[in-house]
Structures are given as C-alpha cells and as structure tokens.
Amino acid sequence: MSRPAEEIHVQIFSCGGTIDKVYFDAKSEYEVGEPQIATIFRTANVTFAYSIESLFRKDSLEMQVEDRALIRQRIEACSGRYVLLTHGTDTMPETACALGGIPDKVIVLTGSMTPARFQVSDAEFNIGCAVGALWSQPPGVYIAMNGRVFSGLNVRKNREAGRFEELA
C-alpha cells in the first residue's frame, strides 16, 4: 500500500541504552554516547523523512517514573503518526506499558543487546525490523526485537536466553 508523502515521516526519540553505548576498556566501563540511529539510517540510505530528538542518555536500568512520563509527554506532543523509540532493553517493556493508550500513533520501541558501534551488533537488524513494524502495524505500542514484533503490553526480556518473548 502506498502512503502519501506527507505521512511518511518518522519521529525518533532516543533514550540511550546499549544501542548507543561507548565502551572504553575490557572492564566494561562505558558511557551512553550520541544516538547511533542517524548513522544507521544514513548507511542504509533510507528514503523517508525523519527527525531525531535525544531525550536522555541513560542505561534503561537507571530510568525512573519521571523519565517515562517525559517520553510519554514528548510522544503525545509530536504531530506525526509514526514514532520510533530507541531504548535500553532491560526496561523496555515497562516503558511500553507506560505508553499504552496513546491514540492514533504507531509507537515502536527497539534497541540492541550489543552496541551499534560494535562490528557485530543486532542494532541495525532491530532498527530495520522496527521501521517495518511502523509501516505495517495499526496504532498501538510495539517492541521490535530479535526479528519479531511484539505487543508492547505482552512481552518480557528473557535475560538468560538473550531475547524477547511473549508473556504466557
């Protein structure tokens, strides 16, 4: 299905997480750096319009209720229909639940288990899957990870297996 050009704009909000981490030594000391999604989109030569706003640079384990409230506020305030949120994987389901009920928007959260700066990373694959979910899903909140699109309200991270799964 072809979409009018004015509809094809993605608002991206970056929150940090592993996808944007920069490691400095073998002891795994890190900081969350600049959003990597702009580099990934340039490399992939995407053909739709997008805007990127960095909300904060945090590991998702450091996120608080106030952070999720800010994310919700910024998503509600944006005029676009398509919202992509890069986010740390550890608390992605909690943020998805905090975004439930926002009308008329397709909101997709994604991230990675390894930093986008690494030569081998799941970041590009997950972002590509998330973009596909933006175009194919009805309004709602979703998590795109591990080659799957999950309802944001019915998913968990299985830390032992290193993947996301639907809740039973």
Residues forming the annotated binding site? 60, 89-90
Q: In this structure, what token pair is assigned to residue 133?
A: 């979910």
Mark residue 17 as left, alpha or beta (left: phi above 0; alpha: psi -120 to 50; beta: remaining).
left
Residue 18 bears catalytic tag: yes
Q: How many CB atoms lie within 10 A of CB 96?
A: 25
Residue with tokens 């999604």: 37
Binding site as annotated, residues for substrate: 60, 89-90
Which residue in the list 18, 86, 95, 110 is annotated as catalytic?
A: 18
- Beta strand 82-86 with 106-110 is parallel
Alpha helices (H) in the chain, listed in sequence order: 37-44, 65-77, 92-98, 123-136
Report, as residue numbers or ranges, the catalytic residues: 18
